[in-house]
Amino acid sequence: MDRMLDAGVHIVLANGGTGEFPYLRWNERKELAELIGNHVAGRAVYMVQTSAVSTSETIEMTQHAKDIGADAAMVLPPYFEGPNMDGVYDHFEKVASAVDIPIMVYNIPQCSNIDITPDFFKRLLEIDNIEYIKDSTGDIVRIQELLRTGGSVFNGGDPITFQSLLA
């Protein structure tokens, strides 16, 4: 991590999908977030992926992220037996209103079975603290459409990394 921080990486994310967050116990996720946050220590923006099966658990993890000094939280829609889109909106609204920290919506429909479309993300942007989206659809047209919403867009689809930098 030090080599990346010394090289000027801008954001460090704890408990991401590549970090296998669903397989960690709650205390392990919290300990890992604390360890990484202490190591980053202001050298980059520090974000914690706080998703959980339920909204109440997501709020708990997001509050923990804020309490340990995270700059933002990345949140999936409810991903197991997911609700309809009104329920997804309600989930994000409850998390964002419960914890005063910027929220990055994480769209990875191939894993969550819920697709955060550009129109839906524009609606989510009306909620205080919803500021960003990480879109992992791998669709460059989707990235371009999301950019037009006015929110900050991060690409999570590796095959289109180069193209997304040009979007």
Domain ranges of the chain: 2-166
Catalytic residue among 30, 46, 132, 134: 134
Which tens digit of pLDDT belongs to each residue from 71-124?
A: 999 999 998 777 999 999 999 999 999 999 999 999 999 999 999 999 999 999
Question: Does residue 106 carry a catalytic annotation?
Answer: yes
> DSSP characters for 106-141?
EE-HHHHS----HHHHHHHTTSTTEEEEEE-S--HH
Residue 97's alpha-carbon distances to 37, 76, 120, 124, in angstroms, are: 23, 16, 18, 12
User: What is the Cα–Cα distance from 48 to 66, expressed in whole angstroms?
Assistant: 9
Catalytic, 46? Answer no
Grouping H, G, I as helix, E, B as strand and the rest as coil, residue 82 is coil
Give domain 2-166's CATH architecture: Alpha-Beta Barrel (3.20)
Question: Which of 46, 106, 122, 132 is the catalytic position?
Answer: 106
Task: Indicate the average pLDDT of the chain.
Answer: 95
Predicted confidence (pLDDT) per residue in 16-29, tens digit: 988 788 889 999 99
* pLDDT band at residue 166 using 50, 70 and 90 as cut-offs: confident
Q: What is the pTM of this model?
A: 0.94
Q: Please choose, from the candidates 24, 87, 76, the residue with its C-alpha nearest in 3D space to the C-alpha of residue 52.
A: 76
